[in-house]
Structure 1
Amino acid sequence: MFAMVVSPALAQSRVIKIATVNNPEMLVLQELSKQFEEQNPDIQLDWQLFSENELRSYLARSYLRQVGRASEPAPGAGLPPEVEQFDIVTLGNYDIPIWVNWGWLVPLKVLPASYDVKDLLPRVRKGLSQGGVLYGLPFYGESSMTYYRTDLFQKAGLTMPDNPSYEDIAQFAKAVHDPDKEVYGICLRGKAGWGENMAYVSTLVNTFGGGWFDEHWNTTIDSPAWKEAVAFYIDLLHNYGPPHATRNGYKENLALFAQGHCGIWVDATVAAGFLSDNAKSKVSGNLGFAAAPIAKTPKGSHWLWSWNLAISASAEAPEEALRFLVWATSKDYIDRVAQQDGWAAVPPGTRQSTYSNPDYLKAAPFAGAVLDAMQSADPNDSTLQPTPYSGIQFVAIPEFQYIGTQVGQFISAALAGKLSVDSALAAAQNATSQTMRWAGYTTGYPQ
């Protein structure tokens, strides 16, 4: 008598359903994941791709359902259908702490020693942990920075400071603006969304001295700092931005800059690798980097974000899902991308070893600026005046997905000329104040 051993290749595959964003880095992951499936024949990956706004909107349904009429989740409500459909979900550092509090994620208590958790950048790791336990693994991290065309600056006799002011940016944008040649002084996010225009506008408001709420959760969108910041933003894009700026989010501006249509762009540091690739970017040889601009205070002038892979509490095969998470966020995966696409293309902003690797530093002249931005971004000290919340380009409360998107729509309407700045901010103030009362943060909560 003998026992028959069934090889993994003959065993029935576990299907792991993944929800992720369609950013370039994630598309590379999807392509390379075929190697993971070859190495793990007992696992089949089933991908569903969303744009950033689509993923946030999709998940926002579950947030609103869970929050209900209070800032605490309904007891025993279980996982919403949006979450139950997937085993692995791509989440931002905004989402992870909220999902942990609601019991929606599997704690990642046991990771192989080779994964080297201590190699993860401390600020990124902290945002994904609770009680010293990780609940997500970072795929890439980012802050924000200023990109500019060195050829245009040289032609105009300009020098970009390492730490520009917004007054500098306005003067530079005017000097390099040449719409007859389809070169626009500056490109900025105008597409409505809490993770689109409001990611940028929130940092702008921060550095102009404003914030979303005061110490008692009273809404402060109608403050002088907001009015000054938003008026500056709209004037800058009206005078020196591309046409139809309200259509442009991160991906659209990335394409515009890469094709040579922007003199200056303030946005995510993760774009640096793409823009430095001469196979993808027409401006790779004329690319300059500087810190995100400052107005009145450096606090909150650049953001801190990471896209992370996490396992839903409803996952039927959490061990197999964890195997993929470890593979996709490991040092080995970074090496794999470097071998295929070059070191400048590797997922940035997650590991200290990346920023001490001579090959990466040689291929990525932006590495130091990115690391400095990420290490200096402090979610717990992002505003000039004291506030009760953490977060830089977002407020770390469940309701912010709804609030940020709604305010983003008002700001976008003002950019399109459909509302005045005062009218847009008055409407945003009223809508946000109502939501905060409804959620119980301030008085007047309806019974």
Structure 2
Amino acid sequence: MESLFVALVVLLLIMTFLGLGVWVFAALLLVSTTGLVLLIDMDLFRIGTIMGPLVIRSATGWELSAIPMFVWMGEIMLRTDISDRLFRGLAPLTYYLPGRLLHTNILGSALFAAVSGSSAATTATVGKITIAELGRRKYSHALSLGTLAGAGSLGLLIPPSVVMIVYGVLAEVSISRLFAAGVLPGLMLAGIYSTYVMVMSLLRSDVAPAEGDAPGPRDFLMGLWDLLPIGVLIFIVLGAIYSGIATPSEAAAVGVVFTILISALTGQLTREAFFSSLRAAVHTSCMIAVILIAAAFLSTAMGFLHVPQDVAKAIAAMNLSPGALIFVLAIFYVLLGMFLEGVSITVMSLPITLPLILAANFDPIWFGIFLVIMVEMAQITPPIGFNLFILQSLTGTAVTRVALAAAPFFLMMCLAVVMLTLFPEIALWLPNKLFGA
């Protein structure tokens, strides 16, 4: 019980620091150092000797090199017309679906997610393309915002995913298997969203107004031509990973080169676009790196305080069934998601939750996908939901209205978690098929 109390105090301290506006990495370092000094009387020199090797080990792993590559790829695409091609290419393909162009938010986010690895980049990019057009055509503003908020989070689930890379490094599991495990759940969630849009469109005619002339064969061919660059990019990146030709880091580097070539060949790779994308990628990657370093220090400090082991024993003593454990963890992650973004949630919680999951005999690959969906919920959960803020800045709509529009998609994510828990093969079938059980 003492360690459980320590864990709650640590969590409370972190929330307090964050509430005061302290940066995430600084909050983690402060809590870790304070805990070691006050609870086990460790001197600052000893803490420094522990911190030095941790910095090197936490920020120089080969697997982490994929993060800046995928982030840079998304930033380059954000500054070219590859993103505009998404809307033009998907528009004729969605004409005959109830809800019509609303599906471009979902399908476009799924496609962009397959090359960007970032929820924020996916939401911002697809939103910039579709919101104005859907508004001009009198589509439901609430459903336009909701589909973007929900589908934008697919950037975390459909591989490649920055959060998956972070989880794979911290949990010491195969990132390639994690990427494969995210494919079917990502497609399932996109399918749930599209089904909801179709049902709402059939129930309410004002959701998706009647369009003009039906697209002809030439429109379909032009749509496929517009989608070709992003389709080739997905094939190169994910095909190289799943075939075993390249590691995720190597495939990310190849993806960046291919994206730069497309931009150069289409005359869009200006000096300003190149360097602004590079600066944005460096900024985001450095932020993730320092959070990972601070989280590794927190994990080490928790180990010195025996918190993970003792908390695992305390929960094990409660004799929770596997389903009850997952339910408790789901509530825990929803609460964390109200205050933190995905990488922070992952690195802060894993030292405590992973031992519990392993003790309950859950597959760590499956838990990685469960965690990513919970992190997706955090993207649309007020008061701190990054997708909500992005859509607020794009549309000028009050964040409370954006949150209400996103609420049905939060519930659909809950449904996806239930389905994933009842049928774990949704996540495990593809990695077992590709890489063996």
The answer, yes or no, to whether TM exceeds 0.5 is no
Q: Larger % of helix: which? A: 2
TM-score, structure 1 normalization: 0.27
Q: Larger % of strand: which? A: 1
TM-score, structure 2 normalization: 0.28
